[in-house]
């Protein structure tokens, strides 16, 4: 019960504080002149600005900023070719990662096959062939890792080149 009474009392207090301010808020639109930032040039009817356009200066400057942004880069073709090179390098890194993942999967399968052959008592020739396959898989993984490292280095170099071209403009 106390909570309800306190809520009602808080509502009445808020209403009592807000009520005297309502006439001041209602009189704001009765001014003839604009009391805001643009006092002088709002009085020039039909000259350059239209009354009632709220953000005229922002729109004008924004248009110029867009114009400047369009014609900012002089080396646009070079930047486009650098972006293309970065995308190709990313694809190369993704392809190398995929190949490395496949090589690890193949190694996992060959190790499982070796364990299976040892458990079922296969011939020493078959076990030696499985171990040879595992060594080949490890060599392939080392090669794929080296390719991935080179691809990442190439990607980083392309990104650096693109950053330099953006800074140069």
Residue 132 in this model has a pLDDT that exceeds 50: yes
Better-predicted residue by pLDDT, 97 or 60: 97
Angle (nearest 5°) at CA 72 between 68 and 77? 140
pTM beyond cutoff 0.85: no
Looking up tokens 């600005």, which residue turns up?
Answer: 49
Give residue 141's pLDDT band: very low, low, confident or very high (50, 70, 90).
very high
d(CA 88, CA 101): 20
Angle (nearest 5°) at CA 138 between 134 and 142? 170
Whole-number pLDDT of residue 76? 77
Residue 167 in this model has a pLDDT that exceeds 50: yes
Whole-number pLDDT of residue 45? 54
d(CA 88, CA 91): 5
Report the mean per-residue pLDDT for the chain: 78
pLDDT digits (tens, 9 = 90+) for 98-123: 999 999 999 999 999 999 999 999 89
């Amino acid at each position: 019960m106390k909570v309800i009474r306190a809520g009602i009392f808080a509502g009445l207090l808020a209403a009592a504080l807000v009520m005297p301010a309502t006439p001041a808020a209602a009189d704001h639109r009765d001014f003839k002149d604009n009391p805001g930032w643009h006092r002088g040039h709002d009085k020039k009817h039909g000259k350059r600005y239209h009354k009632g356009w709220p953000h005229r200066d922002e729109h004008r400057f924004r248009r110029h900023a867009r114009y400047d942004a369009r014609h900012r880069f002089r080396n646009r073709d070079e930047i486009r070719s650098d972006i293309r090179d970065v995308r190709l390098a990313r694809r190369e890194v993704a392809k190398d990662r995929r190949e490395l993942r496949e090589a690890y999967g193949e190694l996992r399968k060959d190790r499982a096959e070796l364990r299976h052959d040892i458990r079922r008592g296969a011939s020493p020739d078959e076990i030696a062939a499985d171990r040879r396959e595992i060594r080949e898989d490890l060599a392939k993984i080392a090669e794929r890792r080296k390719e991935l490292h080179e691809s990442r280095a190439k990607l980083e170099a392309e990104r650096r080149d693109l950053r330099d071209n953006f800074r140069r403009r």
